[in-house]
Structure 1
Amino acid sequence: MEICAISGLLPSPDCPQRAWEWFLEGTAPTEQDTFWQALEIDKRTEQLADENTPPEHRERRVYLVLPSEARLWAARQGLPVPPLGAHLMGQAELPLQLMSPDPYTVFQLSPSLPLETQRIRLEVVTPPDTARLTYWLDGVELATFTQAPFELWWPLEPGEHELSAVAELASGALLESQTIPFRVNSWVPPGERPVRGDAE
Structure 2
Amino acid sequence: MTAELAMPVPRISPFRRFLRWVSQWKTFSIGILITSLFVIAALFAPWIAPYPPDETDYNQRFAPPSLEHLMGTDEHGRDIFSRVLYGGQISLYVGIFSVVLSSLLGIPLGLTTGFFGGRYDNVVSRINDAFFAVPGILWAISIVAVLGPSANAALLALAVARLPVTIRLSRAAVISAKESEYVEA
Common fold: TM-score over 0.5 = no
Shorter-chain TM-score: which interval?
under 0.3
Q: Which structure: greater strand fraction?
A: 1
Structure with higher RCO (Cα < 8 A, 6+ apart): 2
Larger Rg belongs to: 2
- Give the TM-score, by structure 2 length: 0.25
